[in-house]
Structure 1
Amino acid sequence: MHWKKHVTGLTFCFFFVPSYFTNKYVLSVLKFTYPTLFQGWQTLIGVLLLLLSGKLGWVEMSSFSRSAALSWLPGSLLFVGNIYAGSRALACLFDQAGYTWGVIHLCSLGAYRVFQTHFKPNHLSDIEQHYVNYLISVLLLVLAAHPTGDLFGAWKFPFLLSLRFQSGCCASALLGFFLLLATVKLKSGLASEQCNMWIFLSKVMAICLSPFVFISDVNTPSLACVVFSHIGEVLLVYSDRILR
């Protein structure tokens, strides 16, 4: 039914906006500037919930070979770069370094989408790809926690034991997992062009609602990042329409 496609898209938006707002709250409002630990926590919870969901039959996960996982390794590395740079950008919001990390985030995300589209292995489902992504992310982020100084710096974080911080971290992990499931459902039930349109719409919704939730300091660099990001999404939708 046509209305089911709208329900799938609205469900994706329902999880997309709160997920990104929660991440922004922890990283930029509470100023938890230790993304290796924050993203490591999120991906660890993602691995555990995927394993639990697979055992309970909520998602389809079959056993796959080591060679299949290795074939997806470049995608996993791009995924790690994407989430790490995105978190760094949010942690350094309106700082000069934040824009640098924002550009790295956009480049990593674009490269990941290209790899996912053109080099997608037939022997790994979307859920299994994300499972490999999460495993690689946990490993790399744990190894990077000490060299980056995040491991020891987090102990000095003033809100470490506060209910706001702990609730935000738990909410971000759960919302991130449900966003993953909603994304997989969106891609499996809709055409690529429609998926990209819903992703674009969810980002527009987040931009429009953000001033009502957070105090925003709009300046030229931040506005340029928003504009170029959305131009990229529009071009992605347009390219899918041309290629069809």
Structure 2
Amino acid sequence: MQWRRHLAGITFIIIFVISYFTNKFVLSVLNFTYPTLFQGWQTFIGAILLLLSGKFGWVEMSRISRSAALSWLPGSVLFVGNIYAGSRALSCIDIPFFFTLQNSSHVVSYIILKAVHREKTQWMKFISVSIMLLSAINLPLHDPQFDSSGYLWAVGHLLCVGAYRVFQFHYKSTNFSDLEQQCINYLFSVLLLAVAAHPTGDLMGAMEFPSLQSYTFHCGCCASALLGFLLLLATVKLKSGLSLEHFGVWIFLSKITAMCLSPLIFYMDFNIPSLTCVAVSHAAEALLLYSQRDSQL
């Protein structure tokens, strides 16, 4: 049984790394910076594959009522903000720096929990999130490729990720599985991003995109959509056999793997201070995982 969990974890890491690298390639190397279309395409394919998988019995999904779907609407709004702002940020920021900023989403979750649930202060947790915040604040001061718009979108991304984490794990209804939650997210995202494609200018910009007829571009977009769906399945499979804290460890290992391999795939301009921010932030994340071994978040 233990080897099956390790196999599921290794599979998750592989799909996680390839998925992020594919997205980074399309957004940065190919410079397809039209998130309403890129994320709309990913969520559209994800929704189709998930609905087909449920219909053929490959995954377990129950029928979702309209009232239940509406109750999950705040989570779907946060999900759209997460993927939209995340795409904007990832197109401008290197993967190690992106994950360092993303770690600050734990600060957002911590503040919400303190404000809403009045949780007792755990000093180890408080220290770890404080270090993550300080690392994220100092990173743009030392980033040789500082892009103000990328960092602003990263702030929006981490706010949505932190709020979504709290909403997901503290959602009162237990009627939804992770797959059902994601199905609602996908369908809502497709609708909202399709409506926003023209007002944001993404639709007209993409029509003039020079690589639109490129074989590499088509392969990258198709791969990103398929990998996103596979990552969802790998995530659900891994979570089903692990506690939340152990699942967090596998996510941590996935990010470390992606950060270590990314300089081999993508050009990066970094220095000692910026790498220190990355290392300190993820050391703090390891400390947070240790402090959470008896908690839910």
TM-score of the aligned structures, taking structure 2 as reference length = 0.77
| In the alignment, structure 1 residue 119 sits paired with structure 2 residue 171 | yes
Name the SS of the counterpart of 1:243 in structure 2: coil
Structure 2 residue aligned with 1:29: 29
Which string of whole-angstrom CA distances, capped at 9 and with x for unpartnered residues, describes residues 208-227 of structure 1?
Answer: 00000111122589658745
Matches within 5 A, 1:42-57: 42-57=42-57
Structure 2 residue aligned with 1:12: 12
Cα separation, 2, equivalents of 1:176 and 1:48: 12
**1:110–1:58 CA distance, 2 compared to 1 (3 A):** same
| In the alignment, structure 1 residue 234 sits paired with structure 2 residue 286 | yes
Cα separation, 2, equivalents of 1:62 and 1:242: 31
Moved more, 228-237 or 42-51: 228-237
- Displacement of 1:73 in angstroms is 0.9
Structure 2 residue aligned with 1:165: 217
**1:190–1:10 CA distance, 2 compared to 1 (3 A):** same
Cα separation, 1, equivalents of 2:22 and 2:187: 23
| In the alignment, structure 1 residue 142 sits paired with structure 2 residue 194 | yes
Query: What percent of counterpart residues are identical?
Result: 68
**1:162–1:82 CA distance, 2 compared to 1 (3 A):** same
**1:199–1:142 CA distance, 2 compared to 1 (3 A):** same
Contact 1:106/1:229 (<8 A) preserved: no
| In the alignment, structure 1 residue 176 sits paired with structure 2 residue 214 | no
Aligned residue-pair number: 244
Which string of whole-angstrom CA distances, capped at 9 and with x for unpartnered residues, describes residues 36-71 of structure 1?
Answer: 100000000000000111121110111121111111
Cα separation, 2, equivalents of 1:228 and 1:83: 26
Structure 2 residue aligned with 1:195: 247
Contact 1:99/1:221 (<8 A) preserved: no
Q: Structure 2: which amino acid aligns with 1:188? A: S
Name the SS of the counterpart of 2:176 in structure 1: coil
TM-score of the aligned structures, taking structure 1 as reference length = 0.94
> What is the aligned counterpart of 2:148 among 74, 84, 96?
96
* Greater Rg by CA: 2
Name the SS of the counterpart of 1:241 in structure 2: coil
Structure 1 residue aligned with 2:81: 81
Which string of whole-angstrom CA distances, capped at 9 and with x for unpartnered residues, describes residues 172-228 of structure 1?
Answer: 000000000001111111111110000000000000000001111225896587457
- Displacement of 1:96 in angstroms is 1.5
Contact 1:196/1:236 (<8 A) preserved: no
Cα RMSD (Å) of the superposition? Answer: 1.9
Contact 1:22/1:172 (<8 A) preserved: yes
Contact 1:5/1:189 (<8 A) preserved: yes
**1:41–1:210 CA distance, 2 compared to 1 (3 A):** same
Cα separation, 1, equivalents of 2:148 and 2:273: 9
Contact 1:27/1:90 (<8 A) preserved: yes
Contact 1:40/1:141 (<8 A) preserved: yes
Contact 1:12/1:179 (<8 A) preserved: yes
| In the alignment, structure 1 residue 212 sits paired with structure 2 residue 212 | no
Moved more, 75-84 or 223-232: 223-232
Moved more, 93-102 or 195-204: 93-102
Mark the runs of 5 or more structure 2 residues left unpaired by the alignment: 94-144
Which structure would you say has the larger RCO, counting Cα contacts within 8 Å and 6 or more residues apart? 2
Mark the runs of 5 or more structure 1 residues left unpaired by the alignment: none
Matches within 5 A, 1:57-76: 57-76=57-76
